[in-house]
Amino acid sequence: MSVIRTDFEGDRGALFLLALKTGALTLLTAGIYRFWAKTRLRRWYWSAVRPGGAPMEYTGTPLEKLSGFLFAIIVLAILLAATNFSAIMTSVNLLDEMPAVFTTIVAIIPLLTAPFFFYARYRARRYILARTHWRGIRFGMEPGAIGYAIRACFLMALTVLTGGLLWPLMTFRLERFLTDRTWYGNARFTQHGGFARLYGPLLPFLVTFWGGIALIGYFLAQIVTMENGVPQLPEYVSSRTETWPLWTGILSILLSVLCAFYYKVAAIGILASGKTLGDGIEFDLYPRTRRILKIYFFGFHKTWIASGLVQSAVAGLIFGALWLGGGFSQEAIQAMILNPPVNVAIVSSVLTFLLLRLVFGVFWHTFITYPLIAHLAETAEIHNPELLNGIRQRDADRRMDAGGFAEALDTGAAF
């Protein structure tokens, strides 16, 4: 059985420069260049990933992204206005409870946007696939964003209500929904298997999360007294009360966050091995949780150091310029550093804010996205590649919002 592996070829320094250049232009153009920046960075990453030595290609364009974004904000602005109006009308008509009702509605709005979030994610994925080529053949995805949003909301609610017990069901069903609608040329991807296999990697999470809850519950049961059927916390905790269940419980819940991360990484590998393309091309992906955690840890570390340097550099630049060009005495500058005048404070904080955003973006690309993609690419395997030769081209999929909804809602997509 033959296998092709994936190379990752790309110079980190070149990526750093590209991210810096496009990030700076984005700042200088009040954000308009971000559609160009996103396109160029995607092109770069895609071309670095080379399954079987042939680079992937990203063919999306900045103009279609900008158009799609404008389309999305038109739709969202109208929906938002309608939501706001109905919130006001509801609150104005319910006299006595008005402020409470208004705050409740404002609090519910993020929940109401959840379906849009999933809708946007599906559309963004569809757009990206339609603009991805490999070996001259297009990927593609069928429409289905609304169905995906409905399923995602329902499964998410189930997962939360069961305290994570049905998390694998959500992971698997949503992945199958996406995979079964994905195409390479005229060949369709299929997700096989079931959600039961995901319980293995979920077990550490379930144990630490529910164990933590049980421990904290045990601790509370010791100290809480019932008064007229209402639980009451005591004024002070007796020194004889066992406190170990409380702190082990809290530790356990903190640990469960790491376990959740492990689950998500392991699920990627398990789901990948259950996918096929066309008549029997199979896949494997072996992401390592430890490796990914290391990437995030050291990536953040470098980003923090750079951010600190930026802050001192901005302060140095401003006060240096005032000293050299402004004709201020050294004492005056020292006084200004301790107690900056409003103008200087505003200029330096705006400058720092903008530069921090720039540095954060550049470092994120260079030290987190880059190694993450390299790691995923290098662990990928494609089995039975000779079957690829039976695949034929598919038609281009043009009419789309080009990820505009995801852009407007800032769904935090990786690219």
Partner 1 sequence: MSDAAIRNEAFASKLALTYAEFFDGVSPLRQRVSIRVNGDALELKNVETHAEHRWPLSTIRTLSDQASTEAMTFAPDDVNPARLIVREVGAMRAILNTDAPLRPLTGRRGGFVRLGVMATLAAACFGGLLFGLIPWFAETAAARIPQEAEVLLGQQQYGLTYGRQRQCSSPDGDAALRTMAARLTENADLHVPLTLRVVDLPHVNATALPGGQVTIWSGLLTAAERPEEVAAVLAHEIGHVAHRDPTRAQIRVMGSYGMIGLLFADTFGTATAAMVGQALDASYTRSAEADADAYSHQLLIEAGVSPDALGSLFARMEQQYGPSPDGLASLLSTHPAHADRIAASRDAAARADIGAGTPILSDVEWAALRGICTAAPAADGEGKG
Does 282 sit near partner 1 (CB under 8 A)? no
Site for partner 1 in 134-193 (CB under 8 A): 134-138, 185
Q: In whole angstroms, how close is the CB of 271 to partner 1 at the nearest point?
A: 24
Site for partner 1 in 347-376 (CB under 8 A): 350, 353, 357
Q: What is the DSSP letter of 193?
A: S
Does 59 sit near partner 1 (CB under 8 A)? yes
CB atoms within 10 A of CB 11: 10
- How many residues of this chain bind partner 1 (CB under 8 A)? 72
Are the beta carbons of 167 and 158 closer than 8 angstroms? no
Could you tell me which stretch among 5-13, 152-160, 247-255, 334-342 binds partner 1 (CB under 8 A)?
5-13
Give the helix ranges, DSSP H, for 52-113: 62-93, 98-112
The token pair that represents 153 in the structure block: 């909301």
Per the document, the length of the chain is 415
Could you tell me which stretch among 39-47, 262-270, 292-300, 333-341 binds partner 1 (CB under 8 A)?
39-47
Could you tell me which stretch among 59-67, 145-153, 257-265, 294-302 binds partner 1 (CB under 8 A)?
59-67
Could you tell me which stretch among 51-59, 213-221, 296-304, 326-334 binds partner 1 (CB under 8 A)?
51-59
Does 88 sit near partner 1 (CB under 8 A)? yes
Rounded Cα gap, residues 360 and 23, in angstroms = 10
> Which lies closer to partner 1 via its Cβ, residue 71 or residue 283?
71
Among 5, 57, 253, 364, binds partner 1 (CB under 8 A): 57
Among 3, 17, 28, 77, binds partner 1 (CB under 8 A): 77
Does 87 sit near partner 1 (CB under 8 A)? yes
Could you tell me which stretch among 43-51, 144-152, 243-251, 340-348 binds partner 1 (CB under 8 A)?
43-51
Q: In whole angstroms, how close is the CB of 112 to partner 1 at the nearest point?
A: 12
Are the beta carbons of 51 and 132 closer than 8 angstroms? no
Does 384 sit near partner 1 (CB under 8 A)? no
Compute φ and ψ for 94, nearest 5 degrees: -100, 80
Give the helix ranges, DSSP H, for 224-243: none
Three-state secondary structure of 335-391: HHHHCCCHHHHHHHHHHHHHHHHHHHHHHHHHHHHHHHHHHHHHCEEEECHHHHHHC
Rounded Cα gap, residues 130 and 237, in angstroms = 62
Site for partner 1 in 289-328 (CB under 8 A): none
* Cα–Cα nearest to 375, from 263, 299, 280, 277: 299
Site for partner 1 in 101-130 (CB under 8 A): 102, 106, 109
Among 3, 28, 78, 224, binds partner 1 (CB under 8 A): 78
Does 240 sit near partner 1 (CB under 8 A)? no
* Cα–Cα nearest to 292, from 396, 406, 379, 181: 379
Per-position x/- string for 9-38, each x denoting binding to partner 1 as judged by CB under 8 A, each - no binding:
xxx--xx--x-------xx--xx--x----
Could you tell me which stretch among 7-15, 219-227, 317-325, 375-383 binds partner 1 (CB under 8 A)?
7-15
Burial grade of 92 (CB within 10 A; 0-12, 13-18, 19 or more):
exposed
* Cα–Cα nearest to 101, from 80, 87, 84: 87
Residue in the structure block whose two tokens are 């209500």: 161
Residue in the structure block whose two tokens are 């208004």: 102
* Cα–Cα nearest to 161, from 169, 78, 351, 384: 169
Q: In whole angstroms, how close is the CB of 3 to partner 1 at the nearest point?
A: 16
Q: In whole angstroms, how close is the CB of 378 to partner 1 at the nearest point?
A: 14
